[in-house]
Amino acid sequence: MPVKAEITQTTINLGRARVALTILFFVCLGLTIASIFTDVGPSFTKCAAATVILHFVKESAVQMAEGKKS
């Protein structure tokens, strides 16, 4: 008999948050790269700062999700 893993609403919400943060990170990374070559959109420093902050938030969310599993 296979063992069923308990999936709670909290686990589902953490998974959705991780996916949303990953998507936002890559969008911000794309804007950062685009801001190097064009003057359309925010400046490079704003994009780079937002990318770094999103990276830290994304890694923190991953660590929080892993801490709940153990």
CB 11 within 8 A of CB 68: yes
Whether this model's pTM surpasses 0.75: yes
Band of pLDDT at residue 67, cut at 50, 70 and 90: low
Using only C-alpha atoms, the chain has a radius of gyration, in whole angstroms, of: 17
- Cα separation, 14 vs 62, whole angstroms: 9
Q: What is the pLDDT of residue 66?
A: 75
43-64 residue pLDDT tens: 999 999 999 999 999 998 888 7
What tens digit of pLDDT does each residue of 24-50 get?
Answer: 999 999 999 999 999 888 899 999 999
φ/ψ (deg, to 5) at 14? -65, -40
